[in-house]
Amino acid sequence: MNKKFLIGISAALVVGVAAVAWAQNIVNYREQGGARTVIGGSLDVVSGGDLDIESGAAFKIAGSDLAAELAILDGVTASTADLNNTTNFEQTLSSSTTVLTVTDGVIDFDVASHDTSNGLKLGGTLVTSTAAELNALDGITSTVAKLNYVDVTTLGTVEASLAVTADASLDVTALRNLTMTGDLTISDPTNGGDAGARNTLTANFNIGVAAFGTMTNGSTETIALFDDTPAGECVEVGGQTAANDAAVYRVGTNSLKVTLEATPAADEGVDCTISADDFGSNESIGFWFRTDTALTASGDLFLELDDDGGTDVEFDFPTVATINQWTWIELDISTCATCDIVNGVKILVDATGATTLAGANFWLDFMYKWDADDEEALGVDIVQDGVLGVITVVDAAGTNNTTTARVENTDFFINYQVGNDAWVTLTDLSTFTGFGLFATQ
């Protein structure tokens, strides 16, 4: 039984070996049971024609319905070259049931969306390290055991079989025995100084002996500007606080602790009243100083002598890089020819210090002024707290040369200078000569 169906306008049908164009656009087919089969040859739909598969019918090749496969391609805009990238993917990655391998050494494996929420996971756990953090390990030849040496509980506290670390103040505690094969160099040990501190340093120092000539009567010009409760003579300038500190001091039982406010202004600090005195012929003011914030520029703090009726004169503090350690400071006041009636000593911040020292704490202790006649250069560089002993002998003719041990900070103190420290008398030692034994640099 022969039937016809419409192919479309200007379509062509090739049947058998010879190609025959049908102007009527009619194709013969044979119905054999439920199947319809084009007899031999090829079915060619030329330009302008349609092959319309009506609803309920199917487009099959070798008996297989291709509707589902064709639907997958609906809307695809990729080109042939794009689709060929799957071939490149297969060339650069190989896989087995357990391993995915990048086979081409010039190909990158880039997880573009890697962040704190998404990206590369290992065993289900997101890798939160950045590339820079992982690259910090590049070249490390250590082992897990060696890396665990730094797994200390508290920085600065020595633990068994772990690395020795320092705390924020560069201190190390709980170290037992230290064996050295070389030299130990200590630039300037500063043992003790705070209330209750008892420190011992066992080391080999140079021992120096200094002989004194006829000594002076230091009681006339070597005058304490602070007593042992200095806050009673001092008032705050601005919003600072000043108080006696019985926990942190260098000599005696108290220091003067000054706490700067969070936003101090220039020329603010502390103003301490003293008995009116003539500083015009004096050489130096010296004192112990401690700070919890480094003085990075000369003049961050300055000392001002309040001259009643005259011109106040300022003297800059030097830089102090070491924090939380007592430092001896000497200021040269020999240029203060107009300081004839000084009745106040101020410690103030300048414009720079008002910023760099905002909120800082500093301590002052054992402040004296003296004249050059009350000072004798020793010609040695004494280790701080390195006075081992000073003995004086009455030098008057006809005496029995009785010796007396002198007490540091009562009969004298040391003016620490670079390479040539000096002895400054506090009491009347004008009838004595003597010698001192010192630990030197």
**Pairwise CA distance, residues 423 & 414, whole Å:** 5
pLDDT score of 194 more than 80: no
pLDDT score of 417 more than 80: yes
**Residues 235 and 352 occupy one common structural domain:** yes
Q: Where are the alpha helices (DSSP H) in 111-206?
A: 131-135, 144-147
pLDDT score of 1 more than 60: no
The verdict on residue 357 lying in a domain is yes
pLDDT score of 395 more than 90: no
Q: What is the pLDDT of residue 236?
A: 94
Percent residues over pLDDT 70 in the chain? 77
**Pairwise CA distance, residues 221 & 371, whole Å:** 6
Q: What is the pLDDT of residue 266?
A: 96
**Pairwise CA distance, residues 138 & 140, whole Å:** 6
The verdict on residue 310 lying in a domain is yes
206 contacts 418 by C-beta, under 8 angstroms: no
**Residues 336 and 390 occupy one common structural domain:** no
The residue out of 72, 104, 123 marking a domain boundary is 72
Question: Which of 15-29, 169-183, 197-211, 283-297 is least confident?
Answer: 15-29
User: 439 vs 91, which has greater pLDDT?
Assistant: 439
The residue out of 329, 363, 397 marking a domain boundary is 363
User: 22 vs 333, which has greater pLDDT?
Assistant: 333
pLDDT score of 213 more than 60: yes
pLDDT score of 440 more than 70: yes
Strands (E), 360-419: 361-370, 375-377, 382-394, 403-405, 412-415
The verdict on residue 268 lying in a domain is yes
Q: What is the pLDDT of residue 198?
A: 46
User: 71 vs 275, which has greater pLDDT?
Assistant: 275
Residue 196 CA to chain centroid, in angstroms?
31
Instruction: Compute the Cα dihedral for 362, 365, 370, 372 and give only its sign.
Output: negative
pLDDT tens digits, residue range 99-119? 667 666 677 777 878 888 888
pLDDT score of 96 more than 70: no
Query: Could you tell me which residues come within 8 angstroms of residue 275 by beta carbon, excluding any fewer than 6 positions away?
Result: 343
The verdict on residue 347 lying in a domain is yes
The verdict on residue 92 lying in a domain is no
Q: What is the pLDDT of residue 7?
A: 40
**Pairwise CA distance, residues 377 & 21, whole Å:** 128
pLDDT score of 191 more than 60: no
95 burial level (CB within 10 Å; 0-12, 13-18, 19+): exposed
Coil vs helix vs strand at 372 = helix
pLDDT score of 136 more than 50: yes
**Residues 251 and 359 occupy one common structural domain:** yes
pLDDT score of 58 more than 50: yes
Coil vs helix vs strand at 232 = helix
The residue out of 72, 105, 128 marking a domain boundary is 72
**Pairwise CA distance, residues 361 & 262, whole Å:** 11
**Residues 283 and 259 occupy one common structural domain:** yes
**Residue 97: how many CB atoms within 10 A of its CB?**
4
Question: Average pLDDT of 176-204?
Answer: 62
**Residues 435 and 393 occupy one common structural domain:** yes
Question: Average pLDDT of 153-177?
Answer: 90
User: 17 vs 258, which has greater pLDDT?
Assistant: 258
The verdict on residue 397 lying in a domain is yes
Q: What is the pLDDT of residue 413?
A: 95
pLDDT score of 2 more than 50: no
The verdict on residue 180 lying in a domain is no
pLDDT tens digits, residue range 280-327? 888 999 999 999 999 999 999 999 998 877 788 999 999 999 999 999
Coil vs helix vs strand at 380 = coil
Quick one: tokens of 187? 């630039």
Question: Average pLDDT of 28-33?
Answer: 45
194 contacts 248 by C-beta, under 8 angstroms: yes
**Residues 331 and 279 occupy one common structural domain:** yes
The verdict on residue 198 lying in a domain is no
Q: What is the pLDDT of residue 89?
A: 55
**Residues 271 and 390 occupy one common structural domain:** no
CATH number for the domain spanning 300: value is 2.60.120.260
Q: What is the pLDDT of residue 399?
A: 67
pLDDT tens digits, residue range 226-269? 888 998 899 999 999 999 999 999 998 999 999 999 999 999 99
**Residues 237 and 357 occupy one common structural domain:** yes
Question: Average pLDDT of 8-17?
Answer: 37
pLDDT tens digits, residue range 325-371? 999 999 999 888 778 889 899 999 999 999 999 999 999 999 999 99
Query: Could you tell me which residues come within 8 angstroms of residue 205 by beta carbon, excluding any fewer than 6 positions away?
Result: 383, 386, 439, 440
**Residues 422 and 307 occupy one common structural domain:** no
Backbone angles phi, psi at 162, to 5 degrees: -125, 165
**In total, how many domains does the chain have?**
3
**Residues 312 and 329 occupy one common structural domain:** yes
Q: What is the pLDDT of residue 262?
A: 96
Question: Which of 9-13, 41-45, 420-424 is least confident?
Answer: 9-13
**Residues 230 and 303 occupy one common structural domain:** yes
> Half-sphere exposure of residue 184, counting CA atoms within 13 Å on the CB side?
12
**67 is in which domain, residue-wise?**
2-72
Q: Over the chain, what is the mean pLDDT?
A: 80
**Residues 323 and 409 occupy one common structural domain:** no
User: 42 vs 370, which has greater pLDDT?
Assistant: 370
